[in-house]
Amino acid sequence: MRYSQDHKAQTHQRIIKEASARFRKDGIGGTGLQPLMKALGLTHGGFYSHFKSKDELVEKALQAASDQVDGLCAEIFAQENPLHAFIDTYLSQWHQTSPHEGCPLLTISSELGLRGQPSPTSDQVLNNRLAQIANTLEGDNRADQAIVIMSTLVGALLLSRSVADAECAQHLLDVTRNHLKQSQD
């Protein structure tokens, strides 16, 4: 049975969307193609009619994650006190427990870096956040301050996700959030 081009395009986007969530949640290495396709009701062999390789899917999934996060960040940085709103959102309970919807820098990008396969999309995600943060700051070293803030946010969230003790995880988020917000007041 032949499917229309529209059906193939929709299926292609479904695969990217599912991969984007799974790669952020479980990592690239932890996401097999067969379980990914099965979750969508598709066959493993059908994967190759959409993508040349898993690496191609990784890049497209990272771009999809970037687009999703860019939309959320545009809303956050349009608020009255954008830096505080960004810090609150980044270090929120939601972000800590929803890696499949959050910032791809923690899972996808770090895994690509460890594998020696950095991505231009990772650069784009990072540079977009740094620019948004820098635009909220004052002074000559805004770009450097933005790097420190973003690095601190990523590190605190990564640590909070890595500990089994829920109180410790929350404490990591709370202390970092309070310190960053106080240092900007």
pLDDT at 161 over 90: yes
Whole-angstrom distance, CA of residue 170 vs CA of residue 178:
12
Sign of CA dihedral 105, 138, 148, 164: negative
CATH number of 14's domain: 1.10.357.10
Whole-angstrom distance, CA of residue 126 vs CA of residue 122:
6
Look at the block and give the residue holding tokens 């301050």.
145
pLDDT at 116 over 90: no
Name the average pLDDT for the chain.
92
For residue 1, what pLDDT is reported?
Answer: 53
Predicted confidence band at 119 (pLDDT cuts at 50, 70, 90)? confident
Looking at the structure of the chain, the number of domains it has is 1
Please compute the mean of the pLDDT values over residues 172-178 and round it to a whole number: 98
pLDDT at 100 over 80: yes
User: pTM to 2 decimals?
Assistant: 0.88
What range does the domain containing 118 cover? 5-184
Please compute the mean of the pLDDT values over residues 62-72 and round it to a whole number: 93
Whole-angstrom distance, CA of residue 123 vs CA of residue 120:
5
For residue 130, what pLDDT is reported?
Answer: 97
pLDDT at 52 over 60: yes
Predicted confidence band at 15 (pLDDT cuts at 50, 70, 90)? very high
Whole-angstrom distance, CA of residue 22 vs CA of residue 71:
19
Higher-confidence residue of 7 and 90: namely 90
